[in-house]
Chains A and B, each alone.
Chain A
Amino acid sequence: MVAVPASARTVLDHQDISRALTRITHEILEKNRDSDGLVLLGIPTRGVDLARRIATRMSEVEGRAIVAGALDVTMYRDDLRLKPARALEHTDIPDDVDGKVVVLIDDVLMSGRTIRAALDALSDLGRPRAVQLAVLIDRGHRELPIRADYVGKNLPTSLAEQVKVRLTETDDQADSVSIEEGDHS
């Protein structure tokens, strides 16, 4: 990984991310009353890291072990034919999803196309009672009628900007969310 460019503006640091995830954890529990019948699924790559952190916090609050899974949506994407075939990420569904409340977790919500793919992937795995969505950053620019139930931070941005989420698990550097001038890399 290259160093953070000079034009980058950090909007969330380690502390902010930690607080946002703690709040989201409590909101999920509050809305669903408790953790019974909840299945947490992160969308690779960083969504899985976030799902695991939320699962850890939830385990502490509920006093029992809660594990998060991973749902790779590559095979369901609508832009597969625009790029060469991509490598698949790991899918790991910890529990049967039939009749459960599935909480999808991702780092950044923008067009909504990833979540559309995730909903399709989910319907091939079973029939959840409800599906909810938690994201760390919502930056607007939706292209589909999709919204998040739990948002870490709303971050209005221009399309020319890029939002970079860095998490220690994946990026091997301190947690941060920053806005960079888009170089369309």
Chain B
Amino acid sequence: MKHLLSAGDLSRAEATRILDTAEELLSVAQRPIKKLPTLRGRTIVNLFFEDSTRTRISFEAAAKRLSADVINFSAKGSSVSKGESLKDTALTLQAMGADAVVIRHGASGAPHQLAHSEWTRGAVVNAGDGTHEHPTQALLDAFTVRKHLADDGGTGDLEGKNITIVGDVLHSRVARSNALLLHTLGAKVTLVAPPTLLPVGVDAWPVETSYDLDASIEKADAVMMLRVQAERMNAAYFPSAREYSRRYGLDMSRMNRLQDHAIVMHPGPMNRGMEISADVADSPRSVIVEQVTNGVAVRMAVLYLLVGGQTDQPNSEEETA
């Protein structure tokens, strides 16, 4: 594993290895000294062309807990606003010696472009590209689901678990990455959305689809509510917010129809009152805050596995091992 670009690139063994590593790293957060020396002297660049709160902070915390040097770059206030291209920005970062680049970009495929160019030698981690993918979010969601639902104290597999993903699938990179990863891990994924918010070609995804939340909610082991991405909506995808909320929002009465063990998830940021009601978001079934905690551990695992060991430097000394 050289880069992490798509959740679909991960085999079951690789995904499980990341989750198992994260399981061990989760305990670091409870220690008096929340730091490991593993990435001392490595440089990790957070390259954020799009706004983000939790993903950027989460990657920053993860890298710092592993003792890496972190350089944060956001497009606002940088030369990108003067018209600098992704290529020139990447070349600059390469010249500074980045061992890993964590990239969030509004254009789908930007991390792929960066990884397969000669612009940077470091590992590339996709932290969300356009409406395409967000693999570390899928990993932390899978980690959270596994902790709550899997056997063996949360380290077993997700074989046969029903995960229902509800809402704006069309604009959601989280939904795509989750569908691919959860399928790889053996779970059954159901996407529930109005027809206008399901992407073209969704029948090729390894999922079931439904337009009816009430029909799908009772069999779910976990319900993942997606944010309605108003900023990406340039047309009327549903008649009104109120109607959307009534048919596809998770409120108390719907939540009470869930199985006893089922959990409620949301990748954040939430539109309280839209896709999820405030009392559901704050209920004991909600694992939304825990998702954030788990996110740091999962990103530590990803960074450790990508750049913690031997990396392919031009003059590596493999034969002396």
Contact = CB atoms under 8 A, between A and B. Distances in A.
Interface of A: 72, 75-76, 80-91, 120, 124-126
Given A80-B309, A125-B32, A120 B304 contact: no
A80 B24 contact: no
Contacts of A125: 31-33
A42 B227 CA distance: 46
Interface string B8-33: 00000000010011001101000111
Interface string B258-296: 000000000000000000000000000000000000000
A5 to B, nearest CB: 22
A102 to B, nearest CB: 15
A76 B66 CA distance: 11
Majority secondary structure of chain A interface residues (helix, strand, loop or mixed): loop
A82 B321 CA distance: 7
Contacts of A89: 24
B75 interface: no
A81 to B, nearest CB: 6
A12 to B, nearest CB: 29
Given A82-B310, A125-B31, 7 more contacts: A75-B304, A81-B309, A82-B321, A84-B310, A85-B308, A85-B309, A124-B33
A24 B248 CA distance: 65
B24 A88 contact: yes
Contacts of A85: 304-309
B89 interface: no
Interface string B292-321: 000000000000111111110000010011
Interface of B: 17, 20-21, 24-25, 27, 31-33, 35-38, 304-311, 317, 320-321
Nearest to A89: B24
A91 B215 CA distance: 44
Contacts of B33: 124-125
Contacts of B25: 88
A96 to B, nearest CB: 10
Contacts of B27: 91
A81 B36 contact: no
A84 B309 contact: yes
B21 A88 contact: yes
15 contacts: A72-B24, A75-B36, A75-B308, A80-B308, A80-B309, A82-B320, A85-B306, A86-B309, A87-B17, A88-B21, A88-B25, A89-B24, A90-B24, A120-B37, A124-B35
A73 to B, nearest CB: 11
A81 B32 CA distance: 27
Nearest to A125: B31
B309 A91 contact: no
